[in-house]
Structure 1
Amino acid sequence: MKTQQILESFFHMGSLTLCFLLVTLLAQGGEGTSTKSSCKLRKSNLQPRFISHQIITLAKIASLSDEDTSTRLLESSMFNQVEDTNRCYLMKEILSLVLKKVSVSYPQKFQRYMRDVLPFLHDVKTKLNGCTLMSNGSRVQRQIDIMRNKLIQLGKNGEIKTISEMDLLLMFLRKYCS
């Protein structure tokens, strides 16, 4: 009888402890549930040799068709005013803009490369879906707006410019998201 009371007491305390831990995690917004940030990818997600080669080749071919050599969409200076904790979020938003620009239509001559590159980039975007701003997002939003306005100004040439800078896109994703 005494053993049964001890076991019941033990399980009761264990249940209370488990409930306390659950409430604590919920109060933290679930922050304690994962040791890996949703704004970080494994390096292996961004390192496939075949895709890297496809992206670099695609960017080189597109740069030959890029008539506006003075405009740059992706520059390292865009990250200067953005906190370290928000740089991957900025890349996630840039990736979304790029995919919107080139997923719908792109010149046929890029088809060979795009059929591999687009699914890869969509997969990276999906893996970054949980990535959120860690603090004030005004600087991030300003950079996104600048890029969006450049794309609007470039019009149809924005597709070529976007494709010609996919190697930079991959480089910045590797730098800020892995």
Structure 2
Amino acid sequence: MNPVLKWMRFSFAWMLFCACLPLLFFASPLPLKEGHTHANHSCVLEKDIFQRAYIRNRTYTLAKLARFSDADTDNRFIRQHLYTNIQKEDHCYLMMRVTDIVVTNVLSKLKEQYPSAQEVAFFFTHLNTKLSDCKPLGSQEHLEKNLEEMKDKLIKLGENGKNKAVGELDLLFDYLENACTEAPKKTSKSEKKN
């Protein structure tokens, strides 16, 4: 075989290889960034859901009405103790579960006693439906323990426990909003001027 022809074939193959190498490099999958492993995007609600004045007023009014029937001022269901030993990334999941307990064990049973209880229950059920793919990222041991303590207290207090849970719907509303909505992004001074 002619050495010039052999050299031309070799150089053509070499040029083709060099031209395709960058394409192979960019087509390969890149590893995921480690910093995003704790993000749980299925545990996020839009902030505007909580900004609707009508449902906020209904929830707060129902809570205020129920507090008149609450004779027990020592106990509380919804407060910071729920977050004991729970990672911040799991706060929304926890509040979703608390909401389910309140809707299932309280609001669904008190529809006749409180006006707008069914409407507020529907709102909270709607939020839980939006969070249906939300799963805990950390250990569930403390989470389940905190929820079990809340359920036990609700059963122990009986009817007064149900009134108390309804009286804390405004707290549930606020905790759910704080845990499940992303904080608004801060804009710098230069962005505000533009």
4+ long deviations beyond 4 Å: none
Deviation at 1:148, TM superposition (A): 0.7
Match of 2:104 in 1: 100
Q: Share of identical aligned residues, percent? A: 29
1:45-83 residue CA offsets vs partner (Å, 9 max, x unmatched): 222111000111100000000121111001113213210
2:165 aligns to what?
162
Look up the equivalent residue of 1:156 and give its one-letter code. E
Give the secondary-structure state (helix, strand or coil) at the position aligned to 1:108. coil
Over aligned residues, Cα RMSD in angstroms? 2.7
- Structure 2: state its 5+ residue gaps: 1-22, 182-194
Paired with 2:92 and 2:108, the residues of 1 have a C-alpha distance of 24
Structure 1 residue 138 displacement after superposition: 1.1
The answer as to whether partners of 2:108 and 2:118 remain within 8 angstroms in 1 is no
**TM, length-normalised to structure 1:** 0.77
Q: Per the alignment, do residues 86 and 72 of structure 1 end up closer, same or farther by CA in structure 2, a change over 3 Å counting? A: same
- Greater Rg, structure 1 or structure 2? 2
SS in structure 2 of the partner of residue 131 of structure 1:
coil
1:167 deviates by 0.3
Output the TM-score relative to the length of structure 2: 0.71
* 1:28-177 correspondence runs (5 A): 37-106=41-110, 108-111=112-115, 113-177=116-180
Rounded Cα–Cα distance in structure 1 between residues aligned with 2:107 and 2:68: 20
Q: Where does 1:6-17 land on structure 2 (aligned, <5 Å)?
A: none
Which residue in 1 is equivalent to 2:10?
A: none
Shift of 1:39: 0.7
**Alignment: residue pair count:** 157
1:122 partner letter: T
Moved more, 153-162 or 92-101: 153-162
